[in-house]
Amino acid sequence: MTTEMEAADKFWDALKSDRTVMLGLPGRVDPRPMTALTHEDTPGTIWIFSAHGNALVDQNPQGSSAQFTFASKNHGLFSTVTGRLTLDHDRAMIEALWNPFIAAWYEGKEDPKLALLRFDPDQAQVWFDANSLFAGIKMLLGIDPKQDYQDKTATIRLA
């Protein structure tokens, strides 16, 4: 059985590796693909570069409820994460997170369109792959596949 701590560790490892999330503001802004970054100085915080003119920035009162979904590239982990999204003006964090992939979207770190969003997660629902191919084979053999899925989901606190 996966403990909450093990599930959280697997979530953070997958997010650091794969980074693309579908972030939205429930009821206001539909989810869109964004790059989620983490930094060792702010454990438990997810950073997202965006731009003024993007609805996630322009329609986001400070501290808005936000949600993202995430699937690891190998489909070993899926999650839905809820939390608070705020616009952050931390120049030191912009400097720390800046990389060539981020730079490709802006006219430098001083670009007036540049916006750094801070996502402080509350909770995540996490599902671990239990391989549906094997489930189908077990069903054909008269075996109940639900047993394999019992330990493949967790609700974890990320705050």
Number of independent structural domains in the chain? 1
> Can you read off the two tokens belonging to residue 101?
């992939």
* Series of mean pLDDT values for 10-residue runs along the chain (159 residues): 82 95 96 97 97 94 92 90 96 97 96 97 87 51 58 74
Q: What's residue 155's pLDDT?
A: 83
Predicted pLDDT at 139: 53
pTM: 0.83
Give the pLDDT confidence score for residue 148 in this predicted structure: 55
Token couple for 148: 């394999």
Contact 71, 128 (CB under 8 A): no
Range of the domain at 82: 4-157
Please give the pLDDT value at position 130.
Answer: 55
pLDDT score recorded for residue 133: 46
Which CATH number does the domain housing residue 124 bear?
A: 2.30.110.10
CA atoms of 93 and 39, how far apart (whole Å): 9
